Amino acid sequence: MRYISYTVLLSLPIFFFTGCGEPALPKDQYNMEECREELLEANDFKSEGSIDHIIVEKTERKMYLYKGNETVGVLPVSLGKNPVGHKQQQGDNRTPEGEFFIHRKLCSPKYYRSLCISYPRPEDIENAQKRGVKPGGDITIHAQPKWNADGKQDAYTLSQNWTQGCVAVTNSVMEELWYAVREGVPVTIR
């Protein structure tokens, strides 16, 4: 049974910054057949070790995982290439700020697995329309690009803001989050 080891999660920032060891992942974790099968059979969640709130602190570049009022994990993240401020429009490379929720899980041949965030909200669409621009979309908490499937460049990717507005974690972290998070889990980004 897969579950999040909170001791491991709490030690992840040190683990990834020091570059010790390699994550233990399936040989072809970008194979979408296994991922899609899990989703179809509703085998993508384990109640043991579940997370019921995620907070991303952009200035710290950290993700805080909560079970009730208890912090059960603190993880390093990468953000959009232009991380300061709320996402204003498509292509601005900003990570949105505010209150969201996980609205679905996505199998990705490009980023392994993703937790889709409920951006744009109605107010984001309205504000973009007032300015005559598109709000953008497809904002997720996702894993690493395929070129870093083995995790050997995790220290590098976690030291950079490189996404187009998403929140990125390592593949081994996503492996744990995938089973710990249900659709509907609140996500606060500030």
* Predicted pLDDT of residue 109: 82
Look at residue 87 and tell me if it is in a domain: yes
Distance of CA 140 to the CA centre of its chain: 6
pLDDT greater at residue 48 or residue 180: 180
> Cα dist. 19→16, 22, 153, 168, 171 in Å?
5, 8, 9, 17, 14
Neighbours of 189 (CB within 10 A): 23
Tell me the whole-structure pTM to 2 decimals. 0.79
Look at residue 1 and tell me if it is in a domain: no
Mean pLDDT in residue range 52-66? 97
* Predicted pLDDT of residue 30: 67
pLDDT tens-digit readout, 127-142:
999 999 999 999 999 9
How many Cα atoms sit within 13 Å of 111 on the Cβ side? 23
Under the banding of pLDDT at 50, 70 and 90, the label for residue 24 is very low
- Tokens representing 83 are 């991380």
- Tell me how many degrees the CA angle 46-48-53 measures, rounded to the nearest 5: 85
pLDDT tens-digit readout, 76-108:
999 999 989 999 999 999 999 999 999 999 888
Domain of 66 in residue numbering reads as 6-17+27-189
pLDDT greater at residue 142 or residue 21: 142
Outline where DSSP puts E strands in the chain.
53-57, 62-67, 70-76, 98-108, 112-117, 140-142, 167-168, 186-189
* Predicted pLDDT of residue 29: 64
Q: What whole-number distance in Å separates Cα of residue 184 and Cα of residue 104? A: 8
Asked if residue 11 has pLDDT above 70, the reply is no
Q: How many domains does the chain have?
A: 1
* Predicted pLDDT of residue 13: 38
CATH number at residue 55: 2.40.440.10
